[in-house]
Copies of this chain bind each other. A is one copy, B any other.
Amino acid sequence: MKREKIIDLFKKAELIGTEVTVMGWVRTRRGNKHVQFVALNDGSTVRNIQIVLDMTRFSDEQLKPITTGSALRVDGRLVESMGKGQTVEVQADNVLVYGTADPETYPLQKKGHTLEFLREKAHLRPRTNTFGAILRVRSALAFAIHRFFQERGFFYLNTPLITGSDCEGAGAMFQVTTLPLNELPKTEDGVVDYSKDFFGKPTALTVSGQLEGELGATALGAIYTFGPTFRAENSNTPRHLSEFWMIEPEVSFFDITDNMDLAEAFVKYCISYALENCRDDIEFLAEHYDKELIERLNFVISNDFVRLTYTEGVKILEESGHKFEFPVYWGADLQSEHERFLVEEYFKKPVILTDYPKEIKAFYMKQNEDGKTVRAMDVLFPNIGEIIGGSEREENYDKLLARIEELDIPMKDMWWYLDTRRFGTVPHSGFGLGFERLVLFVTGMTNIRDVIPFPRTPNNAEF
């Protein structure tokens, strides 16, 4: 079906003065008995093309089905427009209505809807300007991520979603089963007989692909994962999803400094890519939701990230005289308010904190010689605090094993991971980025449910 995308009508100067066919959905119709104007959108851009209907050529009856949400094909001439803010418009010769949208029942009428209302209509909200913009930015960011790593010789590794390991340690897990819950097979001892389950043992949805990522990195050199991740935590906050997407690069022969360089280059690349490729969408979101958005994005890409240790960071916070809700002391897990103070008030730059106390970080992080800290790194951003967490990994078999035993992690699940340290172990590092955190930051949205098409949260698995 030959047509021009609306984004091309604005971009391709050679189309001006020619006959074009456009297809899309009606955002609004207004006008008088002489001329009617339809704002048409096809999802290719946040911008609508104005369709001009000369009422000497169309009847009221013909235009009746052209209401907000209806779908049209329009044949006409693309001309430069006199209207304010319009660059081109289509003078319609023919209009075909593909599908109507009954004004009595179509939920997205032209008046502005709250984000809360639209969350209940997640199946239709991509048709709004706001969610169209967010989803286009999300798509561009996803591609920027692949491009960044592929350009640098990283290989995309698909780590498994269903896992038999129960010790990833990053959070509560969803169980995956094919056992009939109303007729569970039981063993002689009266407990569930998992030998009858699909995989012959209990399985769950992954909370992180990192451990398998390390298997990939110690073979292919440099890998990244980008896939769905799950947390069965009962937290109903604007920052948590039960199903979200995560990016986890892992690189052999990388120490923590290489890792920081990579993380900084990575987020700057993604944000720059979005600014260059989604300007209209970001400007729309800035105008309607967050006036400082573009300034904040430029702030991040144009500043070197400050790098300092957790110990130095805590000292600054302690000596700041600032009144925090949560107390600050060496050994405390920093809260968002602390992280944002360092970024927004003290340094006025993005910050990378390193060398955290080992007690508040994961077992696989490389132990420093002080016996107290590990080679962790957290990247802290304005507005949201931590956006990236990573570390150099403990590559020494004996030290890693001692830490696993100290923390009582069941070894039966760890043998394959330990093999990376038994056989040809190498220094290596990696980090994790929650994709929706990045999309939140770039779109200026404040609720994570608004930056994923179909959010999963406690008691919510609609659509």
Contacts and interface: CB of A to CB of B under 8 A. Distances in A.
Contact of A23 (B146, B155, B426): B426
Interface string A158-190: 111111110000001011111101101000000
B253 A3 contact: yes
A146 B26 CA distance: 30
Nearest to A218: B127
Interface residues of A, number: 108
A461 interface: yes
A181 B178 contact: no
Contact of A123 (B102, B132, B136, B416): B416
B175 A176 contact: yes
Contact of A461 (B164, B172, B228, B258): B164
A221 B69 contact: no
A79 interface: no
B232 A198 contact: yes
Interface in A219-234: 219-222, 227-228, 230, 232, 234
Nearest to A68: B424
A182 B192 contact: yes
A254 B23 CA distance: 11
A127 B395 CA distance: 17
A176 B205 contact: yes
Contacts of A118: none
Interface stretch (A81-89, A401-409, A451-459): A451-459
A222 B182 CA distance: 42
Interface in A233-272: 234, 242-243, 245, 252-255, 258
Interface stretch (A30-38, A93-101, A361-369): A93-101
Contacts of A101: 422-424
Nearest to A100: B424
A69 B424 contact: yes
Contacts of A163: 461
A17 interface: no
Contacts of A181: 175, 177, 179, 181, 184, 192
A255 B1 CA distance: 7
A307 interface: no
B245 A126 contact: no
A454 B159 contact: yes
A460 interface: yes
B1 A454 contact: no
A419 B102 CA distance: 11
Given A100-B424, A160-B243, A423-B101, A454 B255 contact: no
Given A175-B178, A205-B176, A242-B198, A153 B427 contact: no
A70 interface: yes
A160 B220 contact: no
A415 to B, nearest CB: 9
A7 interface: yes
Among A44, A69, A156, A253, the most chain B Cβ lie within 10 Å of the Cβ of A253
Interface string A195-224: 000111101010000001001101111100
Contacts of A254: 1
A243 B162 contact: yes
Nearest to A452: B158
Interface in A97-137: 98-102, 105-106, 123-124, 126-127, 131-132, 135-136
6 contacts: A43-B222, A71-B426, A102-B423, A106-B423, A126-B220, A227-B228
Q: Which 5 A-B pairs have the closest CB atoms?
A: A99-B425, A126-B219, A43-B221, A43-B220, A139-B155
Given A98-B395, A178-B232, A212-B463, 13 more contacts: A3-B253, A69-B423, A99-B426, A101-B424, A126-B216, A136-B155, A142-B156, A157-B453, A159-B453, A159-B454, A160-B454, A175-B181, A212-B453
